[in-house]
Chain A
């Protein structure tokens, strides 16, 4: 019966002391190994994969997915979900591209970034409003806003398209720009990861997110401000999607009414495949990045090998199923409460040999 006692927690390592007991679990390590293996195999077998231009393109795509997925991860940790991020991204992409076009000089980037964050945040607040005021489950509310926001997107686009030539230089050039030799996209993604990671770990808001995701009733009972947190949560998620919209303009140039429509599932998949529990309460910003890396890479490989676009969708779905299944199995193993095998009656007098009770021997220990 060593199965019971072997689950007692090992002493925490120094890293865990700083980042918390959930930091870099074994599943994260195996995911990282998987990413490395996929990269190595692809690089060895696909000539097109190991080119510099493919790599920078791949990493930009990954960064874009990661930024939106980080916001999504926060909502999922809080046992909510946001299905509307793709539409938020699309609206922000078009409006930010269109607006900054009319602003010249160094003010452009500032306005662009501020506007994408603010616009995305406001659309996120719209989600929270439905959830809070109408007491709708997030999955229904954001499914509705996905539809509404997509409609808005078509309306503001007005059938037209934003072309790369209409976009200001700083924005269109963002894709190729580097800072200390590293693409700006990656910088943005890394900064987002660190900032959101810090928020999750070190602020009351962040801790409430975990509490709400882990045991919502207990959280309410403890006096967690559920309504406030809901608004903050969806504003954050929306703002990240807005920022994603900004980068989307630069990455793809053309922004039409369908921009971002494939993004919803991809970012949820990235968060879940990366190790954020769909059941809430666990996961981290870096998990979304890991998931984005794997999914972005698979997407890239499928494009290079020219397997049909259907396969891409299907594989993405399969990845979700596998991730959730693995999670379910692992957590069932892990979460069976360890009952400390109780030894009663320490105070009992001298042990008397029992008739009929003595056939078991000492082999049970």
Chain B
């Protein structure tokens, strides 16, 4: 790691001076000063709503500041649109890479700036240069492959390569690891470190503090639009970072879980959906939190979707309280007392253009209508406000648009929606994905409470610490099979080894 001492003598690539930005009456940034130096990785931290994404958008020209100055190489610049930002050498990659799935790898790298010769696109040159840049930064990808064949990790590499060919000197990575598996994260970090070695200034935005600790040189914390601290990473511990982000002690991030598992409520036997998971068997008890650990793509989400009846399994059986249960449709699953918080909150969990009360009561709309089918609005509002209280929803007004809530509060709306059905079995798929630390603790606390009250919970999480701390029992899946079962507490490295297949019998 480069020391911060030597970087202090360098001239910054980008300097932000007193950057302000408001949205309506809300001041998102209240005069932020920040220098980005060549060859360093800055971790940008903050809870949702702290102003991180506004800052990123201002740097990339998506938004313009209301006040303050941006200096690039010591000269004041106005970054009016993304194009100007790119021309100045500032680019960003987002969680979900914006690639062209139908085009091949090389063209994605050169999208919008294909090499031309005699007025026509020079494909040979494009493939040659793409291969060259891949070799240079150590990416192993077939430049001819169409991008729809690639996974998200590879698409992210393409985005990074794209930034480099456009001459980026400042590269902002917004939550780049949230959809990656551990191995992919490792190789991404290796690449980022090599970019740092080439003098590129990197900004790493993430909620994953262990990654911030592992990767960055300097940490910048935003809270309520103000830059709270700016210190070398080595001087900070994770609890300190959490405290600075929240402005308060969150206490332990993970709640105390009660181990009072009762009788078996669900039994899954030999559940198989070829290509996704096979011969999955387990029992679920009342009041327990069953963790499902594994790498991205291990089949956990598909298993949950099969139980909930979205894409049913092809063979195997499920019984609920001793009665055979056929996962035929989500409607049937709900009737049988199952609730499922999907991984893709915005896509599958919410109708984001709808106001909170309608969203929260969606699962029980049938019971809100009277017997002539008239929708009783007042009943809905009453139920919604009860639910909002139960999930500690922090919203300005109850009937605001769901899309205007922070990620954490959106998740609370989803949770509230499912609590309204009084589930006996609650399946949570990545429940804290993209949620700030404070809300995360609240959501997990509610989950622990639910289990204590007798609900059987299944929790799927790629965050090892989370699944380890939250589960009373833990199953590890790999390549569609349950490969291990642990009683908690358990060492994280044992989970990782099982999930990644390091250990095999007879070897």
| Residues of chain A at the chain B interface (Cβ within 8 Å) | 1, 3-4, 7-9, 11-12, 16-18, 20-22, 201-204, 206-207, 210-211, 213-215, 217-219, 221-224, 277, 280-282, 334-335, 337-346, 348, 351-354, 356-362, 364-365
Q: Is the CB of B150 within 8 A of A338?
A: yes
Partner of B497, one of A338, A351, A361: A351
Q: A341-B295, A361-B504, A362-B506 are in contact. List 11 more A-B contacts (CB 8 A).
A: A204-B114, A211-B112, A218-B100, A335-B101, A346-B183, A354-B498, A357-B483, A360-B478, A361-B505, A362-B505, A362-B507
Q: Contacts of B493 on A, CB cut-off 8 Å? A: 345, 348
Q: Contacts of B483 on A, CB cut-off 8 Å? A: 357, 359-360, 364
- In whole angstroms, how far apart are the Cα atoms of A129 and B479 in the complex? 53
Say yes or no: A218-B102 contact (C-beta < 8 A), given A343-B500, A344-B295, A345-B182: no
Asked if B82 is an interface residue, CB under 8 A from chain A, the answer is: yes
Asked if B485 is an interface residue, CB under 8 A from chain A, the answer is: yes
Partner of A222, one of B112, B476, B486, B506: B112
Partner of B150, one of A282, A337, A342: A337
Q: Is the CB of A339 within 8 A of B484?
A: no
Chain A residue nearest to B114 (CB atoms) is A207
- In whole angstroms, how far apart are the Cα atoms of A326 and B433 in the complex? 36
Interface size on B, residues (CB 8 A): 64
Partner of B103, one of A211, A344, A357: A211
Asked if B151 is an interface residue, CB under 8 A from chain A, the answer is: yes
Min Cβ gap B314→A in Å is 14
Q: Is the CB of A344 within 8 A of B183?
A: yes
Q: Which 10 A-B residue pairings sit nearest by Cβ, starting from the closest?
A: A342-B181, A357-B484, A281-B102, A344-B182, A339-B297, A12-B144, A218-B98, A9-B145, A222-B112, A342-B183
Q: Is the CB of A218 within 8 A of B505?
A: no
Partner of A340, one of B151, B275, B485: B151
Q: List 27 A-B contacts (CB under 8 A).
A: A1-B480, A4-B297, A11-B142, A12-B144, A20-B104, A22-B102, A201-B121, A204-B116, A211-B103, A214-B103, A215-B100, A222-B111, A338-B150, A338-B151, A339-B296, A340-B151, A340-B154, A341-B297, A341-B479, A342-B180, A343-B500, A344-B186, A346-B186, A352-B497, A357-B503, A358-B505, A362-B504
Q: Is the CB of A357 within 8 A of B101?
A: no
User: What is the predominant secondary structure among interface residues of chain A facing chain B?
Assistant: loop
- In whole angstroms, how far apart are the Cα atoms of A281 and B108 in the complex? 13
Asked if B123 is an interface residue, CB under 8 A from chain A, the answer is: yes
Min Cβ gap B52→A in Å is 20
Say yes or no: A344-B181 contact (C-beta < 8 A), given A3-B275, A356-B484, A361-B504: yes
Min Cβ gap A12→B in Å is 4
- In whole angstroms, how far apart are the Cα atoms of A11 and B120 in the complex? 25
Q: Is the CB of A357 within 8 A of B494?
A: yes
Asked if B501 is an interface residue, CB under 8 A from chain A, the answer is: yes
- In whole angstroms, how far apart are the Cα atoms of A255 and B86 in the complex? 54
Q: Contacts of B116 on A, CB cut-off 8 Å? A: 204
Say yes or no: A348-B502 contact (C-beta < 8 A), given A215-B100, A221-B82: yes
- In whole angstroms, how far apart are the Cα atoms of A145 and B296 in the complex? 49
Most chain A beta carbons < 10 A, residue from B107, B111, B275: B111
Min Cβ gap A330→B in Å is 12
Q: Contacts of B144 on A, CB cut-off 8 Å? A: 9, 11-12, 16-17, 21
Q: Is the CB of B503 within 8 A of A354?
A: yes
Chain A residue nearest to B116 (CB atoms) is A204
- In whole angstroms, how far apart are the Cα atoms of A215 and B504 in the complex? 43
Q: Is the CB of A21 within 8 A of B146?
A: yes
Q: Is the CB of A210 within 8 A of B503?
A: no
- In whole angstroms, how far apart are the Cα atoms of A277 and B503 in the complex? 45
Asked if B16 is an interface residue, CB under 8 A from chain A, the answer is: no
- In whole angstroms, how far apart are the Cα atoms of A364 and B142 in the complex? 27
Asked if B290 is an interface residue, CB under 8 A from chain A, the answer is: no
Q: Contacts of B146 on A, CB cut-off 8 Å? A: 9, 21-22
